[in-house]
Structure 1
């Protein structure tokens, strides 16, 4: 009987430790500030009056 009790208590302790760790990780991730969404590469805007060479070209 003592071995069964020890096994049960070990399982309960492991489950509590896992739940506490998961809760701590989620709390730590929520506490970190969000990163700015700044693109690494930017492309210049095309001129508004220029016609696109690929638009309207029918194949066939």
Structure 2
């Protein structure tokens, strides 16, 4: 009987620890600030008529 009780308590304690760790990880992830969505590279807008003022590759 004592071994059965020890095994049961071990399972209960491990389940509580796993649940606490999961909630702790979720809380830590929610506590971090969100990163700004700023692009590192920006490209100029194309001309309105769609034609390029500089010849592209293959337009010899």
2:47 & 2:39 partners in 1: Cα distance? 21
Aligned to 2:7: 7
Give unpaired runs (5+ residues) of structure 2.
53-60
1:3 & 1:39 partners in 2: Cα distance? 61
Note the alpha carbon deviations across 1:13-50, whole angstroms, 9 max, x for none.
00000000000011111111100011222221101123
> Which of 1 and 2 has higher RCO (CA within 8 Å, sep 6+)?
2
Give unpaired runs (5+ residues) of structure 1.
53-60
TM-score, structure 1 normalization: 0.77
1:42 & 1:50 partners in 2: Cα distance? 19
Mapping for residues 1-60 of structure 1, pairs under 5 Å: 1-51=1-51
Cα RMSD of the aligned pairs, angstroms, is: 1.4
Aligned length: 52
